[in-house]
Structure 1
Amino acid sequence: MDPAVRNLLLRILRKIPTGKLEETLTKWTHLSRTQQQSLNYSQSKWILHENIVYLCEENGLTMKHVSELDMIYCMENPTSATWRACQLTDAEDDASSVELISFKEQFKAHLSELIRNVSIKIKKHDDESIWIRIAWGDHFSKPNHLKPTYVVHYLQTPYVFICNLSSKNKLLLHQALVLATKHGSIKDANLSGRSFHAVRDLLMGHYNKTFPTSHSRPLKERNLSPTHPNIVKEHIEQAEKRQQLAREAFGEGTVPKLERATYTLETRFRGGSGIDTFIDSERPFKTVVTFESKSLLASLRHCVSSGMAESPVSPLLSSITQKGRNYFVITDKTNKGPDMTTQSFRSNV
């Protein structure tokens, strides 16, 4: 086995937990049932990995086969890197008719024309998504399979999700995607996170939403012994209202597991009466506010429903779910006269 293939195989095996290794190898299908049954998963990881490498050498597996193992594991566990969402725009008339075979042929052809040494593997997932693994090289070096780019696209939708893409290859990938999907351009959707499923569900609306309503929700009956019925009723009504507002802003049930939301403020220092403190400065003052949590949307929803945060929810926070983004820019808007200044809340696209 080529040293580069062996090195990649060992790196892939190290990142797969032992509890998932047998299932992953079964889906890979490049080891026979007899070979898989010969493996002892209770052994130390080092010995187990060496035995797997020996079986792969025995089967004469190449870089193509080993990179497929990496792709299978990433498709089942897409949390190893930060995923960034993009949106295709200016669709051509026949963009909705693009099928898998046509997409694969066009994407590979266009990207191979743009860069000489590149390895491309495309596979359809069970949920109808198209997964692309790209190992980049250049005119002088072979593709680097240790740092592949992953791309996920749902045909007949404008959504694309990308991880591990360097700036020098960004334009090449975007151009190939635009041509293969028959669109005019592609733009950043200003949404990112380590969980692919969370980014996808938030952008495509695949989660339980609750829409605002002007009708009051019926109060739940509770077995209480109130000292003053009016006070207890008021507290219950307030709690119900907070919970409804929280659901309307952040969804109901299990919500996408987003880790952060970033707000960039572009403004000017001001005096007490709206007069610029630094009048001579043309550059706006920039600052960044970031909210972070293991599950940001669930945390914000809890803060609102429990009364820890004020309600109704600020559009600065509710726009995360309404617009499917977690990066926003807040800028000054000065079209109401020299002494009247407002703030414009917009997404940076």
Structure 2
Amino acid sequence: MENNFKTLRDAGITVIRMWLMGNGANYDGTVEVGFANDRGNFWDFHPPASVDKSFLEDFALLLNICRQANVQIIPVLIDFAFFDEPKGDLPLGAGRFVPTHGDWPGGRRSIAENPSIRREFIIGTLEPILKIAAANKDVIYAFEVINEPGWCIYRFTGSLFGKSLKPNDMMAFLSECVASIKAYGLKSTIGHRYLSDIYGEFSSVKVDLPQHHYYASKLFDSLNGKYPSTRIAKIIGEFGSITASEFDALKDRASRERDPTRKKILDRQVSDFDLQKNQWPDLSNIAPLVVNLPRDTDPSTILELRLQHLDSLGYQLAIIWPSPVDPDRETIDDLKLDSQKLQSVRRFTGR
């Protein structure tokens, strides 16, 4: 990890965004399952009184690796899938408490819905992590509560999320977490899916560094250029690095692959990167007849051009979502950004 971070730093990439708990599979507590007249069937996750010390040790080690590599980090506490329907088959029984053992992703929604459980989570889990972050403030760019919380409250999410949370419960969770982050002297952020989330459903939750992601979806996505300059978001937390031609090549390879293991990896990547292949409309009409002009349809210049555009719109940070990898290297702990893309970044950063 340190070598990878140093490679990125040498290319001028100075901030890493990384999930800590993700969907909760690595965060154990107990689950109370049963039936209540006022709630029907319920599944309530109860967090541990104190987060496992291995979390704190690993987090401290991660921050030390960042320091050695001379990069900063945005730790992302949880993903939206943390609050999704439980992905498990725990036995049901009224009033029954069942311990989890690293094998039950999702199903942690009671942390947002129940004020007392929410407080237990903040005191016993979030604040010990924040204490370590505050002691290593030099490598913390910002502390992120959750990745794309909109999926938790949107009415239509397809297969991404099950039963939606009540918006008021989500806002209470976010606001209390943000308050704790600020109390430890750290900058706060939330990784919103759309710019409109910041100024729409989640406008009541104030963070230090407003963040949204951008994949050029025609129906929903927009950039700072669509809004008055007084309402500028500070961070693009995710943006794509793959062109349509690269995606088509990936899809073609997946269709021709006969080895079951490689095909599974390729098919997953096709699904993951389908959203990211869109050309940015803001860049699609830049002197199209000029030969040799960099466009975001060219793999060798896509990142350079997109970074220049985001910089012109007032973003202070833009974080690249990496490219697909060769399935033969899937198990190798290596960069997911090839040399061509890194060179494109180098031209932007002057490295």
Q: TM-score, normalising length from structure 1?
A: 0.23
Q: TM-score, normalising length from structure 2?
A: 0.22
Q: Which has the larger radius of gyration?
A: 1
